[in-house]
Amino acid sequence: MAPDSPLLLAAVILVSALHMGYLARRVGWSRMAHKILPPAVTGPPEFERTFRAHQNCVEFYPMFLVLLWTCSTFFSELAAVVGGLVYMVARQMYFNGYVKSTKKRLPGFYLTLAVMLTLALLALTGILRGILHKYFHIHL
């Protein structure tokens, strides 16, 4: 382990992976509750909403990891850690809301987007500053 290894970032990323595992488990529990045997992915509306809630989390997870890593490496590890924790709360709100109704997924979803945009802007700032410094010798 290098002495400057991003330990807190790694902790958040590890917890986020376990959180994704928990959401996958929720789909399994919903399968059991509604007696939907794999490979079926259709059934009562609540099951279909649970399934789609998980799918949406899966679709966004690699994007989230990229934003987290670039924000941590090129802007600030602490900002990435805070962003990562808020993202997990937002995803849990989204998931729990979506299970109840299609409309109730929205608050969590908007918070998800807000966190991702913030992480993206911070990462972009850090990367551009780094590129100006390294390739153009402009020190901001």
Helices first, then strands: H and E counts in the chain: 4, 0
Residue 130 CB: number of other CB atoms within 10 A? Answer: 14
The torsion of the CA quartet 23, 85, 94, 64, rounded to 10 degrees, works out to -80
Q: Does 134 bind a second copy (CB under 8 A)?
A: yes
**Interaction mask 46-75, a second copy, x per CB under 8 A:** --xx-xxxx---xxxxxx-xxx--x--xx-
81 binds a second copy (CB under 8 A): no
Near a second copy by CB under 8 A: residue from 78, 89, 131, 138: 131
Question: What is the closest distance, in whole angstroms, from the C-beta atom of residue 7 to a second copy in the complex?
Answer: 5
Looking at residue 93, its amino acid is M
Angle at 42 between CA 40 and CA 48, to 5 degrees: 125
- Check residue 86 for interaction with a second copy (CB under 8 A): no
3-state secondary structure of 6: coil
37 binds a second copy (CB under 8 A): yes
Residue 95's alpha-carbon distances to 81, 132, 138, in angstroms, are 21, 41, 45
Contact between 18 and a second copy per CB under 8 A: yes
Which residues bind to a second copy, rule: CB under 8 A?
1-2, 4-5, 7-8, 10-11, 13-14, 16-18, 20-21, 24, 37-39, 41, 45, 48-49, 51-54, 58-63, 65-67, 70, 73-74, 98, 102, 105, 116, 120, 123-124, 126-127, 130-131, 134-135
